[in-house]
Structure 1
Amino acid sequence: MRGAKRKEPRMAKVAFLGLGVMGYPMAGHLVKAGHEVAVYNRTAAKAEAWVAAHGGRAGATPKEAAAGCDFVMTCVGNDDDLRSVVHGPQGALAGMAPGAVLIDHTTASAIVAREIAAEAASAGIGFVDAPVSGGQAGAENGQLAIMCGGAEADFAKADPVMQAYAKATEHFGEAGAGQLTKMVNQVCIAGIVQGVSEGLHLAIEAGLDAKKVAALVAQGAGGSWQLTNRAETMVDGKFDYGFAVDWMRKDLGIALEQAKAMEMSLPVAALVDQFYGDVQSLGGGRWDTSALIQRLRLLKNGSL
Structure 2
Amino acid sequence: MANVAFLGLGVMGYPMAGHLASKGHDVTVYNRTAAKARKWSEEKGGASAPTPAAAASEKEIVFCCVGNDDDLRAVTLGEDGAFSTMSSGSVFVDHTTASAEVARELYAAAAERGIAFIDAPVSGGEAGAVNGVLTVMCGGDEEAFSRAQPVMECYGQSVRLVGAAGSGQLAKMVNQICIGGLVQALSEGIHFAQKAELDVELVLEIITKGAAGSWQMENRGKTMNDDQFDFGFAVDLMRKDLNICLAEARRNGASLPVTAVVDQFYSDIQKAGGGRWDTSSLIRRLK
Matched with 1:40 is 30
Aligned counterparts of 2:158 and 2:271: Cα–Cα separation in 1: 36
Counterpart pick for 1:277 among 267, 275, 281: 267
- SS of 2:28's equivalent in the other structure is strand
Q: How does 1:186-197 map to 2 (within 5 A)?
A: 186-197=176-187
Match of 1:165 among 147, 155, 179: 155
The alignment's TM-score, normalised by the length of structure 2, stands at 0.99
Q: Secondary structure at the match of 1:171?
A: strand
User: What is the CA distance between 1:34 and its match in structure 2?
Assistant: 0.9
Aligned sequence identity (%): 60
For residue 54 of structure 1, what is the aligned residue in structure 2? 44
Q: What is the CA deviation profile of residues 214-266 of structure 1, one whole-angstrom value per residue up to 9, with x for unaligned ones?
A: 11110000000000000111011110111000000000000000000112210
- Secondary structure, in 3 states, of the residue corresponding to 2:154? helix
Partner of residue 143 from structure 1, selected from 110, 127, 133: 133
Gaps of 5+ in 2: none
Query: How many angstroms apart in 2 are the aligned matches of 1:120 and 1:251?
Result: 24
- What pairs up with 1:112-127 in 2 under 5 angstroms? 112-127=102-117
- Counterpart of 1:99 (choices 80, 89, 114) is 89
User: Is structure 2 residue 29 aligned with structure 1 residue 24?
Assistant: no
- The whole-number CA distance in structure 1 between the counterparts of 2:23 and 2:91 is 18
State the AA in 1 paired with 2:77.
H
C-alpha displacement of 1:170 = 1.1
Corresponding residue number in structure 1 for 2:204: 214
Question: What displacement does 1:97 show?
Answer: 0.2
Look up the equivalent residue of 1:216 and give its one-letter code: I
Report the equivalent of 2:241: 251
Moved over 3 A (4+): none
For 2:280, the aligned partner's letter is: S
**SS of residue paired to 2:212:** coil
Alpha-carbon separation, structure 1, partners of 2:211 and 2:260: 25
In structure 1, the gaps of 5 or more residues are 1-10, 298-304
Deviations 1:11-61 (A, max 9, x none): 001100000000000000001111000000001111010001001111100
**RMSD of aligned residue pairs (Cα, Å):** 0.6
Letter in 2 for 1:15: A
Shift of 1:200: 0.6
**What is the number of residues matched between the two proteins?**
287
Give 1:6's aligned residue: none
Structure 1 counterpart of 2:217, from 210, 214, 227: 227
Which residue matches 1:134? 124
